[in-house]
Amino acid sequence: MAASLIRLHFHDCFVNGCDGSILLDGDGSEKEGAGNKNSARGFDVIDTIKTAVENECAGVVSCADILAIAARDSVLLSGGRSWRVLVGRRDGLVPNKTGADNLPAPFESHSVITTNGGDGNKTTALDRNSTDLFDNHYFKNLIAGKGLLSSDQILFSGDAAANTTKSLVESYNNNQTLFLVDFVKAMIKMGNISPLTGSDGEIRKNCRVVNS
């Protein structure tokens, strides 16, 4: 579940920014986007957290902030490093299924490549050797030619990899500390993508629907 919660935060932030829009049900839901349908999970966990938070301090903590904090805690509880999560994000009012159909490809940025190391898949673990630990075995598997998805293996073996991502995969394979440090930097950067603040958006009472 840890990898799934990290993935929810990732897929939320790269569509409309970190606004919790991936959690919305209904027409045009991002859950139905190509990058999420039949693969994104953990929504029930976020619901449980939101209910507990609302019972203690209603209308204070947004669903977007819960996603960010849940991702951080998932990394920490799996053996990765912690970081300070800036809070104050507000929740978006509309989903963007088109954006969810066009999530960034692995080659598009250093941050995307780094966060791939912590991503997860609904039906199988992408890290063969340490499925419950947050470490650099994802990159070791790529070098061994054991990436379970072609979209992962191309980071090391693809035609474009030699001039783009291969050296980074090799660096993370050889230096787990470098990967862990870079992952934290990437998560902080990603968590700051276009947050709604001030009077923009809202703080949802239920993460699945906008307030009435």
Annotated ligand binding at 19? The verdict is: yes
For 66, phi then psi, to 5°, come to -60, -40
- List the structure tokens of 116: 């791939």
Annotated ligand binding at 95? The verdict is: no
Annotated ligand binding at 199? The verdict is: no
Of 9, 11, 110, 137, the catalytic one is 11
Annotated ligand binding at 210? The verdict is: no
Annotated ligand binding at 112? The verdict is: no
Rounded to an integer, what distance in angstroms lies between the CA atom of residue 13 and that of residue 16?
A: 7
Question: Coil, strand or helix: which one is 158?
Answer: coil
Please choose, from the candidates 11, 14, 15, 67, the residue with its C-alpha nearest in 3D space to the C-alpha of residue 39. 11
List all residues 6 or more positions away from 195 whose beta carbon is below 8 Å from its beta carbon. Answer: 17, 18, 19, 64, 88, 89, 90
Give me the long-range contacts of 152-158 (CB less than 8 A, separation at least 24): 152/106, 152/116, 152/126, 154/106, 155/106, 155/107, 155/113, 155/116
Annotated ligand binding at 27? The verdict is: no
Annotated ligand binding at 104? The verdict is: yes
- List the structure tokens of 51: 């209910």
Active site residue 11: yes
Which residues participate in the annotated binding site?
12, 15, 17, 19, 21, 30, 104, 127, 135
Which residues participate in the annotated binding site for Ca(2+)?
12, 15, 17, 19, 21, 30, 127, 135
Q: What residues are labeled active site?
A: 11
Which residues participate in the annotated binding site for substrate?
104
